[in-house]
Every structure is written in structure tokens, then in C-alpha cells.
Structure 1
Amino acid sequence: MSATNTRPTRTSRRKRPPNPNWREDFYRNGRPDEQEVIVISDSPTPPPVHIRKPPSQIETRGMKRGRRTPPQLSNAQQLQSSQLSLQPISAVSTHKRRRKGEIQTAQFHQQYNDTSYRSYISTGSHTSAHYREPISARESYSSASSSRQAIIPNYDDKDGHYIVKIGDDLTSRYRITRQLGQGTFGKVVQCFDRVSNRHVAIKIIRAVQKYRDASKIEIRVLNTLRDQDPSNLHKCIHLRDWFDFRNHICMVFDLYGCSLFDFLKQNDFAPFPMNQIQHIAKQLLNAVAFLHSLRLVHTDLKPENILLVNDQCKTISSKASIRSKRMLLDTDVRLIDFGSATFDDEYHSSVVSTRHYRAPEVILGLGWSYSCDLWSVGCILVELFTGEALFQTHENLEHLAMMEHVLGKIPDRLVRQMSRHHQSKYFRGSRLLNYPNDDTTKQSRKYVKSLRNLIEIIEPEKSTFRSQFYDLLQQLLLYDPNERISARAALRHPFFYMFFDDEGRHIR
């Protein structure tokens, strides 16, 4: 397993912005309502001091949270229990109350600093998907620099990320050999497993309570996937182990190659061959169909979350191009990152998916379900075909304008289903998209106008393969989620019954 500020400048020669972390930067520096997409809810506002309830009586979304299980309990028991909630510090608290809170917090972290009672385990235990807790005191003190500095341990940075040092141990079993990547939820490192005598990938979650909560939901989902598909026929990554180390939840996975996005970047964003697109698409739809059969929506499908099992490749030189290109020897993939996965009958966050793969129903505020995953699949397949993201933007109105330019006008029936707030925000007059408007920049107007529509991108008249591929994409990228093709139906599309030779040329 591996992990991966303004709006990037677009030119005709550069397929991607120069910043390799531009997608993550969009979340950090974009609009406040789009910065971090996680399923758990924010902390409730603490009640006034004179009516504050003890921690055992604080209610969260849809459930009551009990007291924290003592640290002597096993990890499996901790996963099923609620987390300790330190009493929030009121804005009108006296200096004496703040001092008491600091002492409490220091004691809390001291409990987690002592990891002698913890051990690595494999568990089948599950947490409730409605598990919600207030953000921990660690974040509550972020506005007070003196208090913040007092509670940061020397193995964490100011954002709660674990400071990775090559050669250090994560428990007595795992030794860190290198860092593979970093994301919103934490870091991924390669470690040597002294028990199995092999290398593994370990996802180290940030020591921030909301990310710890989300990781427990992810563990629950991963356990479900492993239990329902022990042979891993459906290409979803399997959780091998998990443990809590220095207040960081650590999840252990098999070590795979790079992500599809990383391979695209290393290959100068050259498109994938047609036969490889077909194989990757089939595996991806198979994984999505499996998730949907479990009533689970991934919500964050993108090339960064699709890993190559083996990223070995051969170099091909072409007379038509000065640069040589890489071609994969094996296109077997695994779907990863279930931190935002949501069961269909549970709480749905209003905003999901990374911007470029976000379905229109999410932007329009119409609610979302399984179909939002299929829209993301369509965007991914176009990206594999062209080498560049279909919708490169981080602003809702511009995103909708790009959709209309590539796919045609948004149906009136969807606009009528929107709330008045969203209608006035994005549409004007007779349900026309409010783009461009007085606030639209010249650069945005020029870029949207330069986009090609889908038929110009795929050029289906050139071959039977392209024709079938275009037909599949049309059904994946339908505006109306109720009309969008399902994953099971997509797997039966004629596109997947076409054959290629060893060089990737279509045979029949």
C-alpha cells in the first residue's frame, strides 16, 4: 500500500500542475466547506459551565457515549468502547480552570505514552458506524500556543502527524524502513515485520481525535471486507493487523506498488494502452460492485486510491517521440482508502469525494448514494485514456460549467429538485447556469471555453474499441444518478468482451 494553492495554472503543454501535492493543497487551502471530507460529524458546541454534563452524559449524533475504557483493556475492547472525552474548556473559564484542563490533558497523553501494555493484534471486532465524539482536547487547545506546546509529545509534529525516523520501531515487531507517503489522515510507512520476515505497509493515523474516530470506522469497514471476501477476489485491500502506538492508530497492510496517479506522473502523464484500460476498469468495477453489494459506498474513488500490485514495467522507445515511455508488465490493482466509506443507511456527509471526481448530485445538494461512485469511475477511465484529469478545478460553479461544456446541459428536472438556496447560488432565470458572471475571471472563461466535449476526447469513430468505450462512459457520466449505470450492469457492457493482442491492438 502507498499514499500520495491556488488553482494550478493551465497551459496547453503541461498536463498537470507542477506541484505534486496540488490535490491535497486544494483541500487545505480551498473553501472552508471543502477542506476535509470525512464522514464523522464535527464536535457539538459545549454547554455553558453551569449546565455542563459529565463526560458520561454527553450525547453525540444518534447515540450516547460512555466513559473511556481503562487503558488496561485490549485493543479489541477499546475499539468497541467509547473514547475518553475531556471536558471542553469554556470561553469564559478562569485561569485556574485552564490550568486544571492542562493537567488533565497531560495525564491523558501520559497514559498513551506508555505502550508497554499494548501489543499488535489481528481483530475481527467492529465499532458502531454511528460512533461520534467531540474533537479531543488536543485540538481544543490549538488556539492557545502555550498550552498547545505543553501537550505536544516529542514524537509528533504540530499537526498531530507522527514524526517518522528511519530505523525506529513501531512496537517491538515493526521497524520503519522508509516513508511511502503522507495525506490528510496521516502517513504511510514501509516497515519490516520481524515475525513474518517480510516488508509491510503501515498507515499511521494522526493523533487527533476526529481522525482516530474515522480510523476506527475504517477498521470496521476493512474487517467487513476481509470477512466477506477472504480470498480477495474483489481486489479490495485487506487489513492484516492494527495496533495503537503512542496515541496513533496504526493499520498494517500488504506492501504493493505505486498508485495509478504516481505511475502516470512517473510516465510524464502518458495515456494507458487500451487493453490495460479495459483490465483496470474491469477490476475497479468489480471492486465497486462488491462494495455496493455490502450496502457500502466508497465515496473517494480516484487514481491515488488504486494501487498497482506490481509496478514493474518495460521502457518503450518511439521514433515519433524523443522521450521513452513506460509500459506496465502487470495491471493487477487493489482499491484502498476506506476512511470515508459509508454504509448506505448511515449518516451521509453533505460533501464527499475529491473535487475532480465529485458527482454533480453532490455539488447540487441533491444527496448521494451508490451512483456517486460510478461517476468517479467514469472520470478515472477518461483520465487513464488521456493522461489528465477530466475536470481540473476546485470551485463549484466552474466545475458545473466544465461539466456542461464536456457533457451537455444539466437537465431541468435536476435543477427543479434543488433547494432554493442552491438554485440561486448556481442558476439564474430560466434555469440557466450562472456562468460566466461578473466574478468570473478571464482565465476561467478561457479555460472552460477551450475544453473539448466527450465525443471529441474519445473520438469513437476511429475504432470499435473507442466506440464501445465512449458508450460506457456516456452511461457512467449521466447527470441523473437514478439513470446512471450500476457497477454490475457496467461489467456486462460489450466493452469488456473485446480482445487485444500482446501489443494492445484490438483484435475483435
Structure 2
Amino acid sequence: MIEEERLPWYSPTSFYPVKLGDTFRSRYKVLSKLDYGSCSTAWLCRDLREQKYVAVKVCISNYPSIQRERAAYEHIHKLISSQADCPGADVVRTSIDEFDLNGADGPHHCFVFEPLTLDLAHTREILGGLFDESVFKTIVVHVLRALDFLHTKARMVHGDIRPENFFLRGTGDTSYRYLEELEHTHPSPRKIIGDRVIYMNHGQVGATDPRQHGVPVLCDFGEAYFGKDSYYVEIQPPHYRAPEVVLAIPWSMSADIWNVGLMLWHLLENKPLMTAAYDGEPDVVAHLTEMIALMGLPPKSFLRRAPAEVLEGLFDEDGHWLLQKSAPIPQLSLEQSETFFKGTGRDATDFLRFMRRILHWEPEKRPTAAELLNDPWLAGVKVSSTLLPGV
């Protein structure tokens, strides 16, 4: 099995059978496969009307988050068009166009976007030892700029902050022209099943050194929420999930701050700070023990916000952990877990202090994205157009 076929929930009729050379709406010609996700495939296309490269995301039929994603893009579009000053909007990707394709199991909604290159997970993997503090700080600043715009201007929670949802901007058309030519000279491997073709993507989009690409842009708003002061639904990748989400406490934009802190740690260290798992499976009890190890016991005032049935068997009325025998608190600390700065011989004090500002049980004690941008650890890091200015 290849690509989207490997997804446990894959169904041939749920994914639209895109073929290279297809033209959507007599406008978007399919040139190469960019990637696939849990609910979509992404394709590099040429906009025949505007004569430019675009990315088209083709969603599965009955895509559950379609209305939320569409509403998020519409909200951001209205905001940008009505306000002259929207700092951070340049690193938030929204749709250029939308349309539907008719499929065997119903319509497949499609979003048209600015094309981008590598996501941050692949960027980290490719750079390896070249991933240094200066590159990391540039990433941090632009990630926080995106969140500051979402939180301050759009009053929106992204809800799914992960390295795979930040993509580097290309520098001109070079990256996409290269991919189009590569498809002609070295056609992508494919699997043909009847009239259906499943393509593998080429993996590399553009320059071999990701530092020559642009800065990260926040994508994928299928889990975004806006319009209320707080929410109750489950969001976020399990190992990045904020305490209030884990304990079914109403959450807001500060949940994104926790989420981004854990993502940045993962990116720097190449491993998550917390596994939130037992025997490889997501586990709330294991997650809570890791949080307690890092932050101490949660304040009783915080626990009182959670439903009693959620706390039952976990904490007593004084806030003590009840599972010390079956689920003891592990030996875990930021100092013990940090290896990146140790490996370079540099002082990690400022970075660890930056992380401690984020790691709070109580959401209101976490700084905003704007406050984190002014943290002393990021002093002197400038907004740039490439991941490593001068490369």
C-alpha cells in the first residue's frame, strides 16, 4: 500500500480519483502530487486563467470539518479586507478559491491555496545538524506572529498546532517549476487499480537546503473555532493537548499557547516533551502524570473547574494524586529532557525560562503570543523573508 492507502480508514470512493493532467473547472490543471493527509490530497496545479502555480486541496467526501474550515477562511478574508493593518496575516494561509467535484460517494470540496514547500517536520528532518538556534528562533518568531494575528485580530483558536501544519513559503516560482519539470523527466511512481491511480509524491519541493526557502506559514483550519469566549470540544494532537482540554474544562486561545510550546519543544529536541501514552496508545492518566512531574500538582481552584466525573479516581478533594501506586509520577524535568543546547555547548537557561512561561496549569497564567514575541530569548530576531537570511 502507498500514500493515502495506508490510512486505516482509507476507502477508494472517499478519496477523489485525481489524475495528472486533469483540469478542474476548466481552470486548474493538475501538474504533480504534493502530499496527502487524513482527509485530503494536495496537488500542484497551474491556474490557466491567471497563469500562476496554485495548490489544490481535494477533500474526502463527507469531510467532517468542511463548514468549520470554510467559515474560518471567510472570517479571515473579511478581517484582512476590512483592516489596513494586520501584522501576522502574511504567515496565515487562507483559500483563494473553492469548488466541488462530484464523486461516487458525493461531492468533494476543494480549496485553492498559495502553493508552499516543506512542512516543519520534514524541514527538521532534512536539516539534521544544520538545524541550529538561529534557524529555530526564526521559526519561533513567525509561528508566534501567525498566532498573534489569529488571537488578537481574528479572535480565533487554531486547535491543531503541529509541525505538519506549518509549511515553508517558496521563493518565487523556482520550486514549483522544478517540480513540474521533475514530473516530466522523472514521473512519480504510481499504482493503477482499474481506472483509479494512486500517485506517490516526489517528497522534495525546490531547494535541497530548506534554509533557502521562505518562512513558515500556518495552514489547515479544519479544527479552528471562533465567535465564542470558550469551548468544550476535544481538540489538539494528544501529546500537545492542554491541561484544560484533557480535563474537559472550557478552553480558549491560551490552549493554542500550550500547544505551540509543546510543538516548538518537539521541533527543537526532535522528540516530544510528553508522550501522553501508555504502551504506545494515547492515555490521559499517563499524560497527567507527566504534567504533574513538570509543573507540580494542579491548583485546587483549577481542578474545581473540571466536571466531577472527570476527576473521579484521579484527584481527591484536596487535589492529591490518587494513583501513586498504579500510575506513579515519573522523573521528568525540562533540564533533564533538554539535549539540544547540551549538544552544542550553549546555555539553555533563557530557552527553558521561555518554556516555563508557557507550562502552566491555569490558562490565564500563560503569556499571549504577543508577549512571547517580546521575550528576552528572542531579542534581536527580526522578521525575515527566508528561513535563514543571507543563505
Q: CA deviation at 1:413?
A: 2.7
Task: Please point out which of 474, 479, 484 is paired with 2:366.
Answer: 484
User: How large is the Cα RMSD of the aligned pairs?
Assistant: 3.4
Say if 2:86 is the partner of 1:221: no
Q: CA deviation at 1:403?
A: 1.9
Structure 1 residues 332 and 230: CA distance shift in structure 2, 3 A: farther
Match of 2:101 in 1: 245
Say if 2:132 is the partner of 1:273: yes
Q: Which amino acid aligns with 1:454?
A: L
Q: Of the two, which has the highest radius of gyration?
A: 1
Q: CA deviation at 1:412?
A: 3.0
- Determine helix, strand or coil for the equivalent of 1:351: coil
Say if 2:311 is the partner of 1:423: yes
Distance in 2 between residues matched to 1:358 and 1:214, nearest whole Å: 20
8 Å CA contact retained: 1:200, 1:253: yes
Structure 1 residues 179 and 428: CA distance shift in structure 2, 3 A: farther
- Determine helix, strand or coil for the equivalent of 1:367: coil
Match of 1:406 in 2: 294
8 Å CA contact retained: 2:294, 2:333: yes
Equivalences for 1:391-402 in 2 at 5 Å? 391-392=274-275, 393=277, 394-402=282-290
Distance in 2 between residues matched to 1:456 and 1:436, nearest whole Å: 22
Equivalences for 1:278-289 in 2 at 5 Å? 278-289=137-148
Match of 1:308 in 2: 168
Q: CA deviation at 1:232?
A: 7.5
8 Å CA contact retained: 1:401, 1:435: no
- Determine helix, strand or coil for the equivalent of 2:67: helix
8 Å CA contact retained: 1:407, 1:454: no
TM-score (norm 2): 0.74
Say if 2:254 is the partner of 1:371: yes
Unmatched 5+ stretches in structure 1: 1-18, 30-155, 313-324
Structure with more contact order per residue of length (Cα contacts < 8 Å, sep ≥ 6):
2
Task: Please point out which of 182, 186, 208 is paired with 2:40.
Answer: 186
Match of 2:26 in 1: 172
Equivalences for 1:41-52 in 2 at 5 Å? none
Structure 1 residues 209 and 395: CA distance shift in structure 2, 3 A: same
TM-score (norm 1): 0.58
Distance in 2 between residues matched to 1:227 and 1:400, nearest whole Å: 43
Deviations 1:358-417 (A, max 9, x none): 111100111100100110111122112211222223221111112222343333332233
Match of 2:335 in 1: 455
Structure 1 residues 332 and 229: CA distance shift in structure 2, 3 A: farther
8 Å CA contact retained: 2:360, 2:366: yes
Structure 1 residues 193 and 283: CA distance shift in structure 2, 3 A: same
Structure 1 residues 419 and 211: CA distance shift in structure 2, 3 A: closer
Unmatched 5+ stretches in structure 2: 176-207, 383-387
Q: CA deviation at 1:345?
A: 1.2
> Across the two proteins, how many residue pairs are aligned to each other?
332
Q: CA deviation at 1:488?
A: 1.3
Q: CA deviation at 1:179?
A: 2.3
Task: Please point out which of 351, 354, 357 is paired with 1:472.
Answer: 354
Distance in 1 between residues matched to 2:115 and 2:316, nearest whole Å: 51
Match of 2:219 in 1: 336
Distance in 2 between residues matched to 1:383 and 1:437, nearest whole Å: 29
Distance in 1 between residues matched to 2:362 and 2:230, nearest whole Å: 22
Q: Which amino acid aligns with 1:368?
A: W
Match of 1:386 in 2: 269
